[in-house]
């Protein structure tokens, strides 16, 4: 890989760390600002309200304006978000920081991996693509790990993790500035690239969409409600444990495609949702066993097998439609994934009425119902992966 590839990878890693630093800090915010579980879940999910519309509006902007012309503003917005968190002394500022994080990730979602791949030599594009995909997930995982360790062992726990991230973002921004631009500027025409191509609606709505929604629902719960469960129910007040769970559930998924790249994508999705749904019961079971270790183990298994779901979903979406329709279908896939974080708000408010343990039991029941739909019904709606082939036009020839 080239020097530019490494620069783009560093930028991608430090950028993606930003949105998930908040995970191990949620119990501390609750104690400091006296927030309910529901409000904390709302804080966690707020960035979804901005990431999806921003992603759609950014669309194909980097293909026309250039990678760096979109990456640099995104880096600046993420830096601003971490600055807001590093100075936040009120709840409205916490929500403002999450909104900025959503804007930033929505801008960077399409350009981040493309910038890494563009920097690679022609013969190394596939390796760069795989590395960028892994770095995206690992970066998201490093955020809570770093946040938990700094908060637990370095003092000033609500602000210092974000202060460190601001420094890292300066390094990431420098990497983007140094790396070469790979896409020449062209006239920009706004295009809303989201949708399900004709003929793929039933399979996407019944199988692929619910699978990535379920994946995100499980990951979102581990990243938001589980830290409160660890802290308040299990008495695991070392927030580095919640940070470790966040790293495992996000970061291990980055390694899955590397280790299981030969698995049939449809089978990968079904294995992923089935195993993940069963594993969620370990989290609720931890309350009866009084063991935080069970939660850590569950987070690790969830992270790895959820990587199968994402791998299968992205491979399917990249295979079944023509190149011109691929971006639209991938945007729809990402929308389903981010929508999966929204139910965590309901779980948060539910936990206020029935307790965290019972709310997590409800979570496991819902996960199992979704998995049952996908494995028993959805797979029939999407019976096989049929790669798209360009139609062959047979015309008359003249001698």
Same domain, 8 and 132: yes
| Length of the chain as a residue count | 399
Same domain, 269 and 155: no
Q: What is the pLDDT of residues 258-283, one digit of tens each?
A: 888 888 989 999 999 999 999 999 99
Query: What pLDDT sits at residue 393?
Result: 54
Residue 390 lies in a domain: no
Q: Among 104-113, 149-158, 166-175, whose mean pLDDT is lowest? A: 104-113
Residue 252 lies in a domain: yes
Query: What pLDDT sits at residue 261?
Result: 81
Mean pLDDT of the chain: 88
Q: What is the pLDDT of residues 85-95, one digit of tens each?
A: 999 999 999 99
Same domain, 289 and 320: yes
- For the stretch 82-86, contacts whose Cβ atoms lie closer than 8 Å and that sit 24 or more positions apart, written own/partner, are 82/18, 82/21, 82/162, 82/163, 82/165, 82/166, 82/169, 83/162, 83/166, 85/21, 85/22, 85/159, 85/162, 86/159, 86/160, 86/162, 86/163, 86/166
Contacts of 140 (CB under 8 A, 6+ apart): 16, 17, 19, 20, 250, 251
12: CATH:
1.20.1250.20
Residue 142 lies in a domain: yes
Would you state the structure tokens that stand for residue 364, as one six-digit string?
Answer: 């496991």
Residue 123 lies in a domain: yes
Residue 395 lies in a domain: no
Same domain, 209 and 341: yes
CB neighbourhood size of 323 (10 A)? 9
User: What's the burial of 383, exposed, middle or buried (CB within 10 Å: 0-12/13-18/19+)?
Assistant: exposed
Same domain, 151 and 198: no
Same domain, 223 and 360: yes
Q: What's the structural domain count of the chain?
A: 2
- Torsion, Cα of 267, 269, 274, 278 (10° steps): 140
Q: Do the Cβ atoms of 23 and 342 come closer than 8 Å?
A: no
Residue 281 lies in a domain: yes
Same domain, 171 and 240: no
Find the mean pLDDT for residues 211-240: 96
Residue 84 has pLDDT above 70, yes or no: yes
Same domain, 158 and 262: no
Q: Report the C-alpha gap between 299 and 306 in whole angstroms.
A: 10
| Residue 142: domain span | 1-180
Q: Model pTM?
A: 0.91
Same domain, 173 and 201: no
Residue 124 lies in a domain: yes
Residue 397 lies in a domain: no
If phi > 0 it is left, if psi is from -120 to 50 it is alpha, else beta; for residue 199 that is left
Out of 180, 208, 239, pick the residue that ends a domain. Answer: 180
Look at residue 273 and give its three-state secondary structure. helix
Query: What pLDDT sits at residue 133?
Result: 82
Same domain, 323 and 263: yes
Same domain, 202 and 346: yes
Q: What is the pLDDT of residues 328-342, one digit of tens each?
A: 677 788 888 889 999
Q: According to DSSP H, which parts of 23-124 are helical?
A: 26-33, 37-58, 61-65, 67-87, 91-119
Residue 302 has pLDDT above 60, yes or no: yes
Same domain, 273 and 366: yes
DSSP characters for 174-218?
HHHHHSPP-S--------------TT-HHHIIIIIHHHHHHHHHH
Q: What is the largest CA-CA distance in the chain?
A: 84
Find the mean pLDDT for residues 220-239: 96
DSSP characters for 230-260?
IIIIS----HHHHHHHHHHHHHGGGTHHHHS
Query: What pLDDT sits at residue 145?
Result: 97
């Amino acid at each position: 890989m080239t020097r530019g590839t490494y620069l783009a990878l560093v930028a991608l890693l430090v950028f993606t760390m930003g949105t998930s630093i908040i995970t191990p800090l949620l119990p501390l915010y609750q104690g400091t600002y006296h927030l309910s579980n529901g409000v904390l879940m709302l804080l966690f999910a707020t960035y979804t309200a901005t990431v999806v519309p921003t992603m759609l509006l950014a669309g194909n902007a980097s293909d026309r304006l250039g990678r760096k012309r979109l990456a640099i503003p995104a880096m600046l917005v993420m830096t601003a978000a971490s600055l807001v968190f590093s100075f936040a002394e009120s709840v409205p500022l916490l929500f403002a920081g999450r909104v900025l994080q959503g804007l930033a990730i929505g801008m960077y979602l399409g350009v981040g991996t493309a910038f890494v791949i563009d920097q690679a030599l022609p013969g190394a594009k596939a390796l760069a693509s795989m590395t960028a995909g892994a770095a995206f997930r690992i970066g998201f995982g490093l955020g809570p790990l770093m946040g938990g360790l700094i908060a637990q062992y370095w003092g000033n726990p609500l602000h210092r993790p974000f202060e460190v991230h601001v420094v890292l973002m300066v390094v990431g921004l420098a990497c983007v500035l140094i790396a070469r631009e790979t896409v020449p500027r062209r006239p920009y025409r706004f295009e809303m690239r989201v949708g399900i191509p004709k003929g793929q609606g039933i399979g996407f709505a019944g199988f692929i969409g619910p699978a990535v929604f379920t994946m995100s629902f499980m990951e979102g719960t581990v990243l938001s409600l589980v830290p409160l469960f660890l802290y308040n129910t299990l008495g695991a007040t070392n927030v580095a444990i919640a940070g470790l769970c966040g790293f495992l559930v996000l970061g291990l998924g980055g390694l899955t495609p590397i280790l299981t790249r030969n698995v049939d994508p449809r089978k990968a999705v079904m294995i992923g949702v089935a195993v993940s749904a069963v594993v969620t019961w370990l989290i609720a079971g931890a309350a009866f066993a009084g063991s935080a270790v069970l939660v850590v183990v569950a987070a690790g298994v969830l992270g790895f097998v959820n990587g199968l779901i994402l791998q299968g979903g992205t491979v399917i979406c990249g295979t079944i439609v023509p190149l011109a329709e691929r971006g639209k279908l991938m945007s729809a896939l990402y929308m389903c994934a981010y929508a999966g974080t929204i139910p965590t708000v309901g779980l948060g408010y539910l936990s206020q009425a029935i307790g965290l343990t019972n709310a997590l039991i409800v979570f496991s029941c819902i996960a199992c119902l979704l998995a049952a739909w996908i494995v028993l019904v959805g797979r029939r709606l999407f019976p096989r992966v049929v790669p798209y082939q360009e139609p062959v036009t047979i015309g008359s020839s003249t001698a």
